[in-house]
Amino acid sequence: MAAYHLEIYTRPTCSDCQDLKNFLEEHQIPHTQYDLAKQPEKEEALKKITGNRIVPGIIFSRSSMLGLKKKFKSMTGFEQNKEEIKKLLEVS
């Protein structure tokens, strides 16, 4: 099991989003998904974390050693970040 909690922000018309979702399903990676077409209010959270509204927005979080606060790593786009995502999720 990966040490990260994964959240993804997607839109149904985004092919990179679909590739990301297929990848996560194929590797059985647990994640929370926000479809911005169905949950437009989540767009502000994406913008706050990544600085933009570009999808897919990929957010990795985990608790600090004391479990007090979460540390975030965010990315925009799947294809250009695929190798780093694999490393963070410990998949080959």
pLDDT tens-place string over residues 61-75:
887 666 666 778 999
Q: What are phi and psi of 17, to 5 degrees?
A: -65, -45
Question: What is the average pLDDT across 15-39?
Answer: 96
* Residues 32, 47: Cα–Cα separation, whole Å: 17
Count other Cβ atoms within 10 Å, centred on residue 90. Answer: 12
Tokens for 75, please give them: 């990315």
Residue matched to tokens 């694999």: 86
Q: What are phi and psi of 57, to 5 degrees?
A: -95, 130
* Residues 82, 84: Cα–Cα separation, whole Å: 6
For 51-62, what is each residue's pLDDT tens digit?
999 999 999 988
pLDDT at 88: 86
Question: What is the average pLDDT across 32-37?
Answer: 97
The single-letter code of the amino acid at 70 is K
